[in-house]
Structure 1
Amino acid sequence: MSALRYYTSLVIMAAASFIATAQSVSIEAPATVIQGNRFSVTISVNNSDAVVRTAPEIPNCKIFNASRPGVSTMQSTTIINGRVESSIQRQYTYLYKAEKASTVTIPAVSVGNMRTQAKRLTILPPDRTSQQSQSNSSSMPAPAASAPRAGKVSPSDLIVTVNMSKKHLWKGEAVIATIKVYTKHNISSFRATTLPQFDGFISEELPVGSNEAQMEHFRGENYYSAVLKKCLLYPQKAGTLTINSGRYDVTLETYEPISNGFFVTYRPIEQKITTTSNRISVSVEDLPQPTPDGFEGAVGHFTATTDIAPAHPRTNEALTYTLNINGTGNIKALSAPTLSFPANVEEYTPEVVSDANFNGTDMRGTCAVTYTIVPKEVGTLNIPSWNFVYFDPSTGRYMTIKQKGYNLSVIRGSASSAEQKDLGEGLKDIRYIHRVDTASLAQKPARVFFETIYVLLYILVLVAFVSTIIVYRKHIRANSDLAARRTARANKVATKRLRLAAKALTANDADAFHESLARALWGYISDKLRIPSSALTRDNIREKLLESGISEELTDRTINILDQCEMARFTPDSSSPEHLKGLFDESSAVIKAVESTKKQPTKASAKA
């Protein structure tokens, strides 16, 4: 019974951990297709046993397999941390042919108790230059002209255009400029060498959203199209404004056919071309004249209100008067209207804060203009009413919104300047300030040029300067004779190298000792006798030592040490520590003896 209970628990746990994905149904179809081309519509049924019974009926399209769709099944199971997830998908594919250029709707299809969403399908007319039918079953079908194309790229295969949403508009009215590319080939690289200039406009670049290529019928041909740039423009002057053409360096990918007997394949080839966009002009009409009082450039459709805070102001304390503008138009370009405040207030520069977003045709949002004023006197503060005026391009008329005035009672706050003056005249606790003749406070300048301390400092500086020059010149001469410097430093260098030999002696490392000792002695002789290291031999060392006035006995001692170090290289471990210590002491004594011996003239030079 215990085993049965165990297996039953396992089955219950496995069933509890098995999670099936939710049921759903979807439909996939191209957004555009060319007249005469074939395309497919796929209905996917997920995690359900429901079956698609009928094919969707698409207007202006012919179906080939209404009763026998292509059916495929995909199943997957995943186990993550003991959780089992299983999914199954069945796809029903129907094949259609687009027969007439139009925009149609793929109707919703009922599958069991589920239903797909309707989809929009655009059927484009065929190219003027190519009427051949071509099958296409991808989600983004390519136009007939974009199939593998060989040969030279035609100028009509790549077009860059600049379009304006309006050709006639008022000064300050919004217009959208769109730079768009049309191509029949894949684009490997696209670089703008000269962009169109929007002279005479206030320009704000707009987001283009998804930059995926869409199929579009343009000038009688089918192209891939994509928006390169979109700008919102506000003309700032009247007349005909022209946007110059841009220049672009583009690399296109074409295909070269390669015959393989019964089959033909295509090899991609890159072609570089340079193209230009079109020039375009718009006609800008000036605003009606004369402009009414209160108009300061607002063009669009707006509402405006004002408020003031605090309602009970105090003297010498800030008071904010706020103009709130809401609407559509050149709201980001609005400036603070010029208002006339009473003379008994102190004004500060107004602050303008705009918050607007593109709504598809223009900018819509708010603009808050805050005026900060400070009342200086107690009494009634009168802010008169005034008119906010804007131009409505849809009606071609100026619109006026009257702003109400305010009568505020100003109470005493912190002391004003006039009150401070009266208060100062009444003070009696400040002592009288006696006047003093400032001439008696003047200090006569002392002359230090001829003082003794000044002369001594001058002489000291002069002596230091001359000494520095002398020392510097000696240093230059010493550095110029490199051989003499090596000779002078030979003993110091040899002493440093002997320290390495002493360390090897302490460590009882005979090989390192002989190597360091030989290097110290050879290096000392090379520096002392001015003999290059490459020219050092046993014979010329003896000759040079004798020529330098070194005694024959000291020369033999030097040669003997060199011979012992050289012999130790071929008979390692043959020297006792006492022998090594004696050899080190002998080397130090020889270097000291050579260093203390003054150079004597040689016999040859004496005879001369």
Structure 2
Amino acid sequence: MPKKFSRLWKMRKMPPANASMQNGRRMALPVDVRSPTHGNISLVSQAIFRSIQYPQMKRFSILFIILAIFTVSIAAGNVSFTVKAPGRIYEGDKFPVTFRLTNADGSDLKVSAIDGCTLLFGPSTSQSQSYSVVNGRAESSSAIEYTYYYRADKAGQFTIPAASVLADGKRLTTAPANFTVHERAERDTPGSQRPVAVDDVDTQTAGRKVNADDVFVRIILSRNSAYEQEAIGCTIKLYTKYSISSFMPTRQPSFDGFLIQELDVQPALNEIENYRGQDYMTAILKHCIIFPQKSGKLTINSGNYDISVIQYDNVNMGMFQVRQPRETKIKVSSNTGSIDIQPLPSPKPEGFNGAVGEFKVESRLVGNSFRTNDPATLFYTISGTGNIKYLKEPQIDFPTEFEQYTPKSDIQTSVSGNEVSGTMTVEYTFVPQSVGEFTIGSDKFVYFDPAKRDYVTLSTPTYPIKVAKGLSTPAPTEDQKAIENKNSDIRHIYLGDKNPSKSHSIVVTTTGYWMLYLGLLIAAAAIIIANRTRARRNADVTRMRTAKANKVATKRLKLAGKYLSAGDNDKFYEEMLHALWGYLSDKLSIPLSQLNRQNIVERLSEKEYSEETISSIVNVLDECEMARYTPDSSTRMDSIYEEGAKAINNLEKR
């Protein structure tokens, strides 16, 4: 919302009586929730009413009415009806199932029973409305949620049947959703003894071995067999039950025997997918369309990846336990993908140049009168689905009396699913050189259609043209200018002075030569000494980590300072802990996984730090840990930040 708009709205003395709640906050704009699909009209009427009731809102109302008039034609977003399946549940648990209708009024809701579960009550209905203005563009949306509450009677795999609702005169239906009810005994089993689950942090304990079915990368092909040059969709997808902190490909899959058209993807672990009966967070790493260039069994070799997953340690804090995240580095290889490529049928017809797919062609001759030395143009267009990006330019049969120039091609493609569609437009420019009647011959475009398993021949029409005598010789084209420049690249030899000097001296005998030689020797010696000094310094890992400890801590404290200024206490305390633990790990040369308060005190005592310095750093750690789980912990943020910086400075004084 623009600043000026927000400032005017703050002039209100009281919130609107019917303001709805959105995400725990009162919405800034009054909305009639009884008419979600006509929110803009309701806004206009309410603004007029409030301008009369509250004179101080007159200026705001005028601006708002003008804005609403210009945006009243903006309809709400797309209408949809979806279902939200429950998370991890056990036998006997009560759980909700929510059906969400977006941007419409609903009626005649029909929901079927869920096998293995008992309906307790429902539906519980809630409504929400949102309205936003971004850069002068208004957007509004509404939602109605119908929530049913069930009890899981037994363990097993169950399906939420499709539900339907009547909205805007149409009946909308949800897709069936699957969920799992786990046995009651699993709840009492320690997390380390239960199978790793994406929605159960207790099972993701530190030190637990990450199995091959916990994190893996799949190569997914859209088909098992295809013809040469036929488009095949290839997706490389990450499946994981753990959160990922870093992902580094060390070797990408190789596509030997294929041409590749890669598509832009933004990898993000934002979807849950059930694969082989288990739930995984997934992210698409690469999506491409591949075109096989030869027949036989072609294999896409696997890729290698270095991945850091997040596991958790349960840290005993006395009265309660907290989970401390730990990074575990693993190496993952993707599977290999194989596909049988069939050769194109033989014999191949004349004119076939490798086009595979489904196409159509057309040609168009520009102009209806032609003269000698006047350029003319023939456009040839191929459109359709297939390997259009790799087609060759057709050879058009022009009369020998025509001068031809290099054809210009323009290819536009788009991807839909696992198919590539588009157009290839070729521009042929020619210049008639003789008067008379001529014919531009037709062209035969031959392609192989995998659906029909046969070759298809398309023809373009012939173009009879009559050429009259031109009035003048046209200016030279760019191609002709290039030829003229080639004929003028040899220049006359410059004769110059015929009496060159014969005096010369040997460079080795000069003082400057030996001074330069000596300078190079000194520079080489300095470089060798500097490299050896650096190598000795780098070899002392403990000293290097200690030297860098303060820099790293300062950088992290700087980020914690940003969270302090923003008032984000959760992220502030989390970043303070990361800074202090990381600093002490580097300062004391103790791996982060082995670091605890006891060995911190012991190691600092061995280094003869004062008890005051040791207790100050430990107190800051304790206060940060306690503050993360204490309500209203924002009052101590400033002092904790100062104490942490002071404690690090005290350690750095020695």
TM-score above 0.5? yes
Correspondence for 1:154 among 201, 205, 211 = 211
Measured at CA, do residues 127 and 329 of structure 1 come closer, stay the same or move farther in structure 2, by a change above 3 Å?
A: farther
Equivalence map 1:125-144=2 (5 Å) = 143-144=198-199
Structure 2 residue aligned with 1:192: 249
Rounded Cα–Cα distance in structure 2 between residues aligned with 1:342 and 1:208:
49
Rounded Cα–Cα distance in structure 2 between residues aligned with 1:358 and 1:230:
11
Correspondence for 1:40 among 84, 96, 102 = 96
TM-score (norm 2): 0.52
Rounded Cα–Cα distance in structure 2 between residues aligned with 1:271 and 1:445:
77
Amino acid across the alignment from 2:435: V
Amino acid across the alignment from 2:390: A
Q: Residues 219-258 of structure 1: CA distance to partner in whole angstroms, max 9, x if unpaired? A: 3322112211111001111122111110001000011234
Q: Residues 83-119 of structure 1: CA distance to partner in whole angstroms, max 9, x if unpaired? A: xxxx999987543357643363244389xx9999654
Compute the displacement of 1:358 (Å): 0.5
Measured at CA, do residues 361 and 58 of structure 1 come closer, stay the same or move farther in structure 2, by a change above 3 Å?
A: farther
Q: Residues 484-521 of structure 1: CA distance to partner in whole angstroms, max 9, x if unpaired? A: xxxxxxxxxxxxxxxxxxxxxxxxxxxxxxxxxxxxxx
Whether the aligned pair in 2 keeps the contact of 1:58 and 1:107 (CA below 8 Å) is no
Q: Residues 10-53 of structure 1: CA distance to partner in whole angstroms, max 9, x if unpaired? A: 7463797789999999988525756858643457999xxx9999
Which consecutive residues of structure 2, in runs of 5 or more, have no partner in the other structure? 1-49, 133-140, 190-196, 475-494, 506-510, 512-654
1:231 is the counterpart of 2:285: no
Whether the aligned pair in 1 keeps the contact of 2:300 and 2:336 (CA below 8 Å) is yes
Q: Residues 326-366 of structure 1: CA distance to partner in whole angstroms, max 9, x if unpaired? A: 11111111120123322111111211111110121211121
Measured at CA, do residues 215 and 32 of structure 1 come closer, stay the same or move farther in structure 2, by a change above 3 Å?
A: farther
Compute the displacement of 1:126 (Å): 6.7
Q: Residues 108-154 of structure 1: CA distance to partner in whole angstroms, max 9, x if unpaired? A: 389xx9999654352145799x97699xxxxxxx8456655112322
Rounded Cα–Cα distance in structure 2 between residues aligned with 1:261 and 1:55:
52
Rounded Cα–Cα distance in structure 2 between residues aligned with 1:357 and 1:90:
37
1:240 is the counterpart of 2:297: yes
Structure 2 residue aligned with 1:285: 342
Correspondence for 1:13 among 49, 55, 59 = 55
Equivalence map 1:39-438=2 (5 Å) = 39-41=95-97, 57=112, 59-60=114-115, 62=117, 65-66=120-121, 94-96=148-150, 100-102=157-159, 104-108=161-165, 118-124=173-179, 143-144=198-199, 148-150=203-205, 151-208=208-265, 211-258=268-315, 264-414=321-471
Compute the displacement of 1:273 (Å): 0.6
Amino acid across the alignment from 2:204: R
Whether the aligned pair in 1 keeps the contact of 2:238 and 2:284 (CA below 8 Å) is yes
Measured at CA, do residues 14 and 152 of structure 1 come closer, stay the same or move farther in structure 2, by a change above 3 Å?
A: same
Structure 1 SS opposite 2:161: strand
Alignment length (residue pairs): 402
Compute the displacement of 1:296 (Å): 1.0
Measured at CA, do residues 244 and 75 of structure 1 come closer, stay the same or move farther in structure 2, by a change above 3 Å?
A: closer
Structure 1 residue aligned with 2:84: 30
Measured at CA, do residues 89 and 395 of structure 1 come closer, stay the same or move farther in structure 2, by a change above 3 Å?
A: closer
Q: Residues 238-289 of structure 1: CA distance to partner in whole angstroms, max 9, x if unpaired? A: 1221111100010000112345678554221110111100112111111112
Whether the aligned pair in 2 keeps the contact of 1:125 and 1:217 (CA below 8 Å) is no
Compute the displacement of 1:204 (Å): 0.8
Structure 2 SS opposite 1:413: coil
Q: Residues 194-223 of structure 1: CA distance to partner in whole angstroms, max 9, x if unpaired? A: 110112111011234673432222133221
Q: Residues 518-542 of structure 1: CA distance to partner in whole angstroms, max 9, x if unpaired? A: xxxxxxxxxxxxxxxxxxxxxxxxx
Whether the aligned pair in 2 keeps the contact of 1:238 and 1:286 (CA below 8 Å) is yes
Whether the aligned pair in 2 keeps the contact of 1:182 and 1:225 (CA below 8 Å) is yes
Rounded Cα–Cα distance in structure 1 between residues aligned with 2:117 and 2:358:
50
Structure 2 residue aligned with 1:472: none
Measured at CA, do residues 266 and 38 of structure 1 come closer, stay the same or move farther in structure 2, by a change above 3 Å?
A: farther
Whether the aligned pair in 2 keeps the contact of 1:256 and 1:266 (CA below 8 Å) is yes
Whether the aligned pair in 2 keeps the contact of 1:325 and 1:366 (CA below 8 Å) is yes
Rounded Cα–Cα distance in structure 2 between residues aligned with 1:448 and 1:164:
78
Structure 2 SS opposite 1:196: coil
Whether the aligned pair in 1 keeps the contact of 2:355 and 2:446 (CA below 8 Å) is yes
Whether the aligned pair in 1 keeps the contact of 2:51 and 2:57 (CA below 8 Å) is no
Whether the aligned pair in 2 keeps the contact of 1:146 and 1:223 (CA below 8 Å) is no
Whether the aligned pair in 1 keeps the contact of 2:85 and 2:97 (CA below 8 Å) is no
Amino acid across the alignment from 2:158: A
Amino acid across the alignment from 1:40: P
Moved more, 276-285 or 337-346: 337-346
Compute the displacement of 1:405 (Å): 1.0
Compute the displacement of 1:184 (Å): 0.6
Whether the aligned pair in 1 keeps the contact of 2:377 and 2:429 (CA below 8 Å) is yes
What percent of counterpart residues are identical? 32
Compute the displacement of 1:63 (Å): 5.4
Structure ranking higher on relative contact order (CA contacts 8 Å, 6+ apart): 1
Rounded Cα–Cα distance in structure 2 between residues aligned with 1:296 and 1:336:
9
Amino acid across the alignment from 2:397: S
Whether the aligned pair in 2 keeps the contact of 1:356 and 1:364 (CA below 8 Å) is yes
Measured at CA, do residues 146 and 313 of structure 1 come closer, stay the same or move farther in structure 2, by a change above 3 Å?
A: farther
Amino acid across the alignment from 1:123: N
Q: Residues 567-593 of structure 1: CA distance to partner in whole angstroms, max 9, x if unpaired? A: xxxxxxxxxxxxxxxxxxxxxxxxxxx
Compute the displacement of 1:294 (Å): 1.1
Rounded Cα–Cα distance in structure 2 between residues aligned with 1:446 and 1:153:
84
Rounded Cα–Cα distance in structure 2 between residues aligned with 1:39 and 1:221:
20
Rounded Cα–Cα distance in structure 1 between residues aligned with 2:237 and 2:351:
41
Rounded Cα–Cα distance in structure 2 between residues aligned with 1:394 and 1:189:
43
Equivalence map 1:483-502=2 (5 Å) = none
Rounded Cα–Cα distance in structure 2 between residues aligned with 1:399 and 1:9:
71
Rounded Cα–Cα distance in structure 2 between residues aligned with 1:267 and 1:321:
71
Measured at CA, do residues 292 and 223 of structure 1 come closer, stay the same or move farther in structure 2, by a change above 3 Å?
A: same
Whether the aligned pair in 1 keeps the contact of 2:114 and 2:160 (CA below 8 Å) is no
Rounded Cα–Cα distance in structure 2 between residues aligned with 1:184 and 1:125:
16
Amino acid across the alignment from 2:96: S
Measured at CA, do residues 41 and 109 of structure 1 come closer, stay the same or move farther in structure 2, by a change above 3 Å?
A: farther
Compute the displacement of 1:54 (Å): 9.0
Measured at CA, do residues 63 and 92 of structure 1 come closer, stay the same or move farther in structure 2, by a change above 3 Å?
A: farther
Measured at CA, do residues 311 and 158 of structure 1 come closer, stay the same or move farther in structure 2, by a change above 3 Å?
A: same
